[in-house]
């Protein structure tokens, strides 16, 4: 009773300070901003009577005056000119564009000393103008190779390649830089960049370490050995302190790895294999990008960005003509912070055949496919029963893409194998170390985010995670916040063990990890290899990670880009040699 009374006292105190009511109500809404359902798998549906915004709360709170005076608040302000309402645009008038494929310019000797001749590509970062919708003027974007998404790499496992990434961007950034963020201080080149291959088993020198950025007029050449299974990877900017801005501007693209195991399954290919890159943006009435800022002009960073315009392969409301047969869709969520929850308008199930790091053991039927920023899904949709119909790919209330199904029958609609690729589950006994790592957020007096930390440690602190090459560890991600954080580890792939709810109050007040429910195993579509995992609020998410690949310094971080840019990123270093023992840190 005493403990419960103490909890109630604490909650009452938070309610008085303006923290508890807003945080609870904000996170009871889904990621699209609608009070429909909570998107964390396995937890109860929550509903609220109405939306309560920060402006509504502050306007009626006794702390409104304090909020107006408090420095560094991250509350987004209304832009001087209202953003474009995409619902006023005609829908499904533009065909879905397919990213152009990268073509090597020559072959060169691999830098690993093997003597092998490997394809050499040159893909510059440069500014472009692109039309996002038929009825909009061209939009200023930053691109890889002249398109957004960037050039598509179609590669093979075991066949390395080298890519030169010249920085040909303008000298000045066109989005608002927050110079108070670490790595974004005044005096640095504004249009700096560095390229990371997300999901790649890549040597550290070619991984795109955030502090290894380079300025316009400079260039870097990275080597990708491709010693990994077939999978949909992607590449994007990773410059320290401005990554969220560079990616919002368009610096991302797809990188496909293929192998003989996948090809033997005879999955839909050629024109029946379609990449879908999802990203949301805010647009000004003239079609230019609009990025939100806080009320403090000296600290424009905001904790999350959600756009009203939803782009698929760089187009608003595109359509795709399909035949009544099986199609394979390679889907990436490239949004800064939005979680997509995909479904078909006719209620039919999709068959998910792969996740971040390649094929699942067997297809998993999903009516709703949730993708956090950075996650990928390999999905097969059967249009054979929808001849002549028009179907929509939706995310909650948003219409993303129209499928126009042909009326004429086809000779070979295709079949989907019942078994795909064996995925051996790693026993927990294989782990030589278990690390307990917290995900935390600091809040102001009125519940405005001041930044996030991994394990309560800033970026510039000494490296604390030093796994040994060719050993396996369990990482327990203890999420103390009200957010779902997609956590990405560079260079490695891992498996999700389970998720388990815990009492965050006990942990923060007494350091005691008290579980409030049983372990929940991953869903069938999470049973494959992953490199990005959703760490749910007030939940311990456990992953088991084989550190195979290369020694060197890499990073792990939240893939909500506004979080990543404000300290929710830490280095880890893979040490050579073998572990002398086991234990917990």
Q: How confident is the model over 245-290, as pLDDT tens digits?
A: 999 999 999 999 999 999 999 999 999 999 999 999 999 999 999 9
Q: Looking at the domain assignment, is residue 204 inside a domain?
A: yes
Work out whether the CA dihedral 282, 286, 289, 291 comes out positive or negative.
negative
- Which whole number is the average pLDDT over 2-12? 36
Q: Does one domain contain both 157 and 259? A: yes
Per-residue confidence (pLDDT) for residue 238, from 0 to 100: 98
Q: Does one domain contain both 102 and 219? A: yes
Q: Does one domain contain both 158 and 256? A: yes
Per-residue confidence (pLDDT) for residue 81, from 0 to 100: 82
Q: Does one domain contain both 490 and 577? A: yes
Q: Which of 200, 232, 263 marks a domain boundary?
A: 263
Q: Does one domain contain both 117 and 252? A: yes
CATH number of the domain enclosing 512? 2.60.40.420
Q: Does one domain contain both 18 and 117? A: no
Tell me phi and psi for residue 564, to 5 degrees. -55, -40
Confidence class for position 368, pLDDT limits 50, 70, 90: very high
Tokens 């950075």 -> residue: 374
Per-residue confidence (pLDDT) for residue 39, from 0 to 100: 38
Confidence class for position 45, pLDDT limits 50, 70, 90: very low
- What is the rounded distance in angstroms from the CA atom of residue 565 to the CA atom of residue 238? 10
Q: Does one domain contain both 22 and 132? A: no
Confidence class for position 178, pLDDT limits 50, 70, 90: very high
Cβ burial, residue 462 (10 Å; 0-12/13-18/19+): exposed
298-354 pLDDT, tens per residue? Answer: 999 999 999 999 999 999 999 999 999 999 999 999 999 999 999 999 999 999 999
- Which whole number is the average pLDDT over 112-138? 96
- What is the rounded distance in angstroms from the CA atom of residue 424 to the CA atom of residue 433? 20
Query: Which ranges of 118-206 does DSSP label H, i.e. alpha helix?
Result: none
Structural domain range at position 468:
428-584
Q: Which of 263, 291, 314 marks a domain boundary?
A: 263
| pLDDT above 90 as % of the chain | 82
Q: Looking at the domain assignment, is residue 273 inside a domain?
A: no
Which is more confidently placed, 55 or 421? 421
- What is the rounded distance in angstroms from the CA atom of residue 193 to the CA atom of residue 173? 11
Q: Does one domain contain both 22 and 63? A: yes
Tokens 């990005």 -> residue: 532
- For the cut 80, the answer to whether the pLDDT of residue 20 exceeds it is no
**Where is 326: in which H helix or E strand?**
strand 326-333
Q: Does one domain contain both 95 and 63? A: no
Residue 538 has what DSSP assignment?
T
281-304 pLDDT, tens per residue? Answer: 999 999 999 999 999 999 999 999
Q: Looking at the domain assignment, is residue 337 inside a domain?
A: no
How far is it between the farthest Cα atoms of the chain? 74
When divided into structural domains, the chain yields a total of 3
Tell me phi and psi for residue 310, to 5 degrees. -105, 115
425-445 pLDDT, tens per residue? Answer: 999 999 999 999 999 988 777
Q: Does one domain contain both 103 and 18? A: no
The closest of 151, 98, 149, 161 to 124, measured between CA atoms, is 151
Per-residue confidence (pLDDT) for residue 503, from 0 to 100: 97
Beta-carbon count within 10 A of 122 CB: 17
**How many Cα atoms within 13 Å fall on the side-chain side of residue 239?**
27
Partners of residue 499 on adjacent β-strands: 520, 541
Q: Looking at the domain assignment, is residue 421 inside a domain?
A: no
Residue 206 has what DSSP assignment?
G
Range with the lowest mean pLDDT among 4-13, 82-91, 132-141, 144-153? Answer: 4-13
- For the cut 60, the answer to whether the pLDDT of residue 158 exceeds it is yes
Per-residue confidence (pLDDT) for residue 112, from 0 to 100: 86
| pLDDT above 70 as % of the chain | 85
Q: Does one domain contain both 61 and 110? A: no
Per-residue confidence (pLDDT) for residue 74, from 0 to 100: 60
- For the cut 60, the answer to whether the pLDDT of residue 69 exceeds it is no
- Which whole number is the average pLDDT over 500-513? 95
Q: Looking at the domain assignment, is residue 173 inside a domain?
A: yes
- For the cut 60, the answer to whether the pLDDT of residue 17 exceeds it is no
Average pLDDT over the chain, rounded to whole? 88
Q: Does one domain contain both 494 and 574? A: yes
Per-residue confidence (pLDDT) for residue 538, from 0 to 100: 98
Q: How far apart are the first and last CA of the chain?
A: 34
Q: Which pTM value belongs to this model? A: 0.88
Per-residue confidence (pLDDT) for residue 7, from 0 to 100: 36
The closest of 482, 305, 279, 341 to 36, measured between CA atoms, is 341
Cβ burial, residue 385 (10 Å; 0-12/13-18/19+): exposed
Per-residue confidence (pLDDT) for residue 80, from 0 to 100: 77
Q: Looking at the domain assignment, is residue 117 inside a domain?
A: yes
Question: Cα–Cα distances in Å, from 312 out to 94, 355, 370?
Answer: 11, 19, 16
DSSP states along 435-494: EEEEEEEEE-TTS-EEEEEETTB-TTSPP-B-PBTT-EEEEEEEE-SSS-EEEEESS--B
Per-residue confidence (pLDDT) for residue 281, from 0 to 100: 98
- Cα dihedral 40, 46, 50, 53, rounded to 10, equals -40
Q: Looking at the domain assignment, is residue 52 inside a domain?
A: yes
- Which whole number is the average pLDDT over 114-135? 96
Range with the lowest mean pLDDT among 69-83, 310-324, 345-359, 362-376? Answer: 69-83
Pairing of β 273-283 and β 326-333? parallel
Q: Which of 239, 263, 287 marks a domain boundary?
A: 263
Q: Looking at the domain assignment, is residue 28 inside a domain?
A: yes
Which is more confidently placed, 49 or 412? 412
- For the cut 80, the answer to whether the pLDDT of residue 90 exceeds it is yes
Per-residue confidence (pLDDT) for residue 404, from 0 to 100: 98
Per-residue confidence (pLDDT) for residue 497, from 0 to 100: 98
């Amino acid at each position: 009773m005493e403990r419960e009374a103490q909890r109630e006292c604490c909650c009452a105190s938070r309610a008085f300070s303006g923290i508890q009511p807003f945080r609870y109500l904000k996170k009871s809404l889904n990621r699209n901003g609608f009070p429909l359902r909570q998107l964390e798998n396995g937890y109860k549906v929550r509903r609220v009577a109405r939306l309560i915004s920060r402006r509504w709360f502050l306007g009626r709170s006794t702390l409104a005056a304090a909020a107006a005076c408090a420095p560094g608040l991250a509350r987004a302000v209304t832009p001087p000119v209202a953003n474009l309402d995409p619902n006023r645009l005609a829908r499904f008038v533009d065909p879905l564009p397919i990213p152009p494929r990268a073509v090597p310019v020559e072959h060169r000797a691999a830098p690993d000393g093997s003597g092998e001749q490997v394809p050499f590509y040159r893909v510059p970062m440069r500014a472009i103008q692109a039309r996002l919708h038929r009825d909009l003027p061209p939009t200023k974007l930053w691109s890889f190779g002249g398109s957004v998404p960037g050039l598509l790499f179609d590669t093979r496992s075991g066949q390395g390649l080298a890519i030169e990434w010249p920085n040909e961007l303008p000298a000045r950034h066109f989005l608002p830089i927050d110079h108070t963020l670490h790595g974004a201080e005044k005096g640095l080149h504004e249009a700096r960049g560095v390229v990371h291959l997300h999901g790649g088993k890549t040597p550290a020198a070619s991984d795109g370490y955030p502090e290894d950025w380079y300025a316009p007029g400079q260039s870097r050449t990275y080597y990708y050995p491709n010693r990994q299974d077939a999978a949909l990877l992607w590449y994007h900017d990773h410059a320290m302190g401005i990554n969220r801005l560079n990616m919002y501007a368009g610096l991302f693209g797809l990188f496909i790895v293929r192998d003989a195991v996948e090809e033997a399954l005879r999955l839909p290919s050629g024109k029946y294999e379609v990449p879908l890159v999802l990203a949301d943006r805010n647009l000004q009435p003239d079609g230019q990008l609009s990025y939100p800022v806080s009320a403090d002009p000296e600290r424009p960073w905001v904790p999350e960005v959600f756009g009203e315009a939803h782009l698929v392969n760089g187009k608003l409301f595109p359509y795709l003509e399909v035949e009544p047969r099986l199609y394979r869709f390679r889907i990436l969520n490239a949004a800064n912070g939005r979680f997509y929850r995909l479904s078909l308008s006719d209620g039919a199930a999709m068959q998910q055949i792969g996740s971040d790091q390649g094929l699942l053991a067997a297809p998993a039927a999903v009516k709703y496919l949730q993708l956090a920023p950075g996650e990928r899904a390999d999905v097969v949709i059967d249009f054979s029963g929808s001849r002549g119909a028009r179907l929509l790919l939706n995310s909650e209330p948003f219409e993303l893409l129209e499928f126009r199904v042909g009326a004429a029958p086809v000779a070979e609609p295709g079949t989907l194998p019942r078994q795909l690729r064996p995925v051996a589950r790693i026993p927990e006994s294989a782990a030589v170390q278990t690390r307990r790592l917290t995900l935390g957020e600091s809040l102001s007096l009125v519940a405005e985010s001041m930044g996030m930390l991994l394990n309560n440690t800033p970026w510039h602190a000494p490296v604390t995670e030093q796994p040994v090459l060719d050993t396996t560890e369990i990482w327990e991600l203890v999420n103390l916040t009200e957010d779902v954080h997609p956590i990405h580890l560079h260079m490695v792939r891992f498996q999700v063990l389970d998720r388990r709810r815990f009492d965050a109050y006990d942990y923060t007040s007494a350091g005691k990890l008290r579980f409030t429910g049983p372990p929940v195993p991953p869903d069938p579509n999470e049973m494959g290899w992953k490199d990005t995992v959703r760490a749910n609020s007030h939940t311990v998410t456990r992953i088991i990670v084989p550190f195979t690949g290369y020694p060197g310094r890499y990073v792990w971080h939240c893939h909500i880009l506004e979080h990543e840019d404000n300290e929710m990123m830490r280095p880890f270093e893979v040490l050579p040699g073998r572990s002398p023992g086991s234990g917990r840190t």
